[in-house]
Amino acid sequence: MKQNKTLREGFSLIELLIVIVILGGLMAVVAPGLMDSQRKATRKTMCLSMNDLKKRFEMFSLDNGTYPDTEEGFKALLSNPDADKYPNYPVKPYLKKVAKDAWRTPFVYIKKGSDIEIISYAADKREGGDGWDKDILLSECNK
């Protein structure tokens, strides 16, 4: 007597398509949240980096009595821009290489009277921007 085999091997094309559609739907819901989390983490990391850079500028200011001028900027942390103006500059520089943000763009330094501003132009690498492309300012990080 022959037995009818009702057991199937593998999945049918329809079953595979249903699984793919379900996974695609889940990704459409989950992916934007993951991207937002990554962007928030990147912005927080930039704020931490800018705070570290500010501490290096503060060390410069303590040694030399003032922050470097805007034109001197980060170069003043790499080597003494003016030995007459900054006679107390240490033998070792305050920074080993030019500081860059997460988008591999150099930070921007601005001397504002007795304070400074450090800026990252964010993902669009241009001044201004909206949303996630909005510039990251040190002064806004510490609020």
Residue 81: which CATH number? 3.30.700.10
Structure tokens at 48: 């931490």
Q: What is the pLDDT of residues 14-43, one digit of tens each?
A: 888 999 999 988 888 877 776 778 888 999
Contacts of 53 (CB under 8 A, 6+ apart): 74, 95, 99, 107, 118
- Inside any domain, residue 113: yes
CA–CA separation, 35 and 25 (whole Å): 16
- Inside any domain, residue 95: yes
- Inside any domain, residue 1: no
% of residues, the chain, pLDDT over 70: 93
- Inside any domain, residue 26: no
What are residue 9's phi and psi, to 5 degrees?
Answer: -110, 130
- Inside any domain, residue 4: no
Structure tokens at 112: 């504002």
- Inside any domain, residue 124: yes
CA–CA separation, 106 and 100 (whole Å): 4
CA–CA separation, 139 and 23 (whole Å): 43
**Total domain count for the chain?**
1
Range of the domain at 75: 45-141
Structure tokens at 134: 């909005």
Q: What is the pLDDT of residues 106-124, one digit of tens each?
A: 999 999 999 999 999 999 9
- Inside any domain, residue 122: yes
- Inside any domain, residue 53: yes
CA–CA separation, 106 and 126 (whole Å): 12
